[in-house]
Chains A and B, each alone.
Chain A
């Protein structure tokens, strides 16, 4: 009882009393806390004057803080603070630092670039980031591709050509692969013969008699494979028809097939069913001309040729 009395003497109460004797302590906030609280009011008012704050009519108060940037038309502009102007200022800063390099990339020929170690180093590092952001989802991070879907960029086998100019064209405009289905044009036996012939071209296990008949079909008007794949079956890069003699198989599951018969069957599947895949998106609208040139050199360096 004496302890309670002591407390009621030293601690203030709010003065309310419920149910006769229920009281509530009144513990005032510490002084430092109260002044910090007032300080936040002052901070807010300062903040409002510097940065965009209150809505006003159909707009808002922009604040005193300005951002100066250069836009794509080359005009220098000043705008009250906002994240979009801040973003442009940030882009400008990076662009100025990268400009000497990108200027070189733009003005130099591919030949000159390949002989300039400084520009090559720039392309290797910036191209790596560009490749990872844009290309790696399909062609994989090392450029090795995915069998059955996306071509390997590290070997010297190029569907549409591995020269700088051809790689540039592929990046700009995209590509669209196509092979017609032969299941309705040819009999099952004829497709077997063709599959054996195609297997023979790269030295795979095959039936020699079938392959011989397939050779004829390949080169006459019945199947007319030579239209696209060429008389020597080495492909035609201008239309993206692959070389059938180099033992590289992108579409047919030859590598995965365990037996010789399985490999022929994998080739057969493609001849019978055709292909309407192998779509490469066009990048001209998404990346800048300099970025595409950087990627051209980067991809060429992965395994470019002619």
Chain B
């Protein structure tokens, strides 16, 4: 059989051209992304990483709503200068329950991957309300409404159910709850139980008193609770500094 390929076949058949174009550009994605799903070490095996509590998760929603990610990354790269300023480099495991992750690459402000525990709640609240009262050279906008707006907690369980659908191990049934006890321990598992979402949220907000005002739960409570947990789940003192080298 004489197979005589002619460029003209493609150029004169727009349907064929579209299919072939799509194939060509998907190669980049296939070779770079697809193998990550089959490589064992993509997500490091590390203790302590858990899904966000309902309050933290709502804080994360506000983080996204206000577009914090437009100026703040959450990805400390493995460079000496980043370690000195921000702390241990980020692990893939640390954002395994983030949907979507907040890695980013735009740093108008500093990286926030390990901002948890670095500053007091008061600082966070005052800094969000009026950034320049704390950092005179800051260009961050003011977010005063976070303090005066009450958090809408009516749909907390629904939001957790949606995340459960994409793989976050929030528990809906007793079996799932028991699995979480095994996986995350007895203190964490109850916080991940969807039927108790509102109760857990209110308890954490009242106990943590993040915005310094115990009457009601403001959006500030949620956002500060989220910021204060960022990067604190893994205790790196338990690991040698090269514990995660073999994972890459």
Interfacial residues, chain A to chain B (CB-CB below 8 A): 14, 16, 55, 58-60, 69, 71-73, 77, 79, 82-88, 90-91, 94, 129, 133-134, 137-138, 140, 146, 149-150, 276-277, 279-282, 285-286
Contacts and interface: CB of A to CB of B under 8 A. Distances in A.
A72 B119 contact: no
Interface stretch (B52-60, B63-71, B79-87, B196-204): B79-87
B248 A88 contact: no
B25 interface: no
Interface string B20-57: 00000000000000010011110000000000000000
A137 B119 contact: yes
B75 to A, nearest CB: 13
Contacts of A86: 78
Nearest to B119: A137
Contact of B241 (A71, A79, A286): A71
Given A91-B80, A149-B126, 11 more contacts: A58-B40, A59-B41, A60-B35, A69-B242, A82-B248, A88-B245, A91-B83, A133-B85, A138-B120, A138-B123, A280-B120
A72 B80 CA distance: 15
Contacts of B126: 149
B232 to A, nearest CB: 9
Given A84-B78, A149-B126, A286 B118 contact: yes
Given A60-B35, A83-B248, A146 B241 contact: no
Contact of A60 (B39, B84, B122): B39
Given A77-B242, A84-B248, A87-B78, A279 B39 contact: no
A59 B36 CA distance: 9
Interface string B101-123: 00000000000000001111111
A277 B35 CA distance: 50
B89 interface: yes
18 contacts: A55-B39, A58-B40, A82-B245, A84-B89, A84-B244, A87-B78, A87-B79, A87-B89, A91-B80, A91-B241, A94-B80, A133-B85, A149-B126, A149-B134, A150-B123, A279-B122, A281-B120, A286-B87
Given A86-B78, A133-B85, A149 B122 contact: yes
B240 interface: yes
Nearest to B121: A279
Given A59-B40, A59-B41, A138-B120, A276 B242 contact: no
B245 A85 contact: yes
Contacts of A277: 120, 122, 212
Contacts of B38: 55, 58
A129 B85 CA distance: 9
Contacts of B152: none
Interface in B197-248: 212, 235, 237, 240-242, 244-248
- Between B120, B123, B246, the greatest number of chain A beta carbons within 10 A of the residue's beta carbon is seen for B120
Interface in B135-163: 135-136
Nearest to A16: B8
Nearest to A276: B212
Contact of B240 (A60, A71, A137): A71
A150 B122 CA distance: 10
A90 B82 CA distance: 12
Contacts of A77: 242, 245
B133 interface: yes
B245 A137 contact: no
A203 B136 CA distance: 32
A87 B244 contact: no
Nearest to A86: B78
A72 B240 contact: yes
Contacts of B133: 146
B119 A84 contact: no
Contacts of B77: 83
A55 B247 CA distance: 13
Nearest to B34: A55
A58 B120 contact: no
A184 to B, nearest CB: 15
Nearest to A83: B78
Nearest to B8: A16
A59 B247 CA distance: 9
Nearest to B88: A286
B117 A281 contact: yes
A14 B85 CA distance: 60
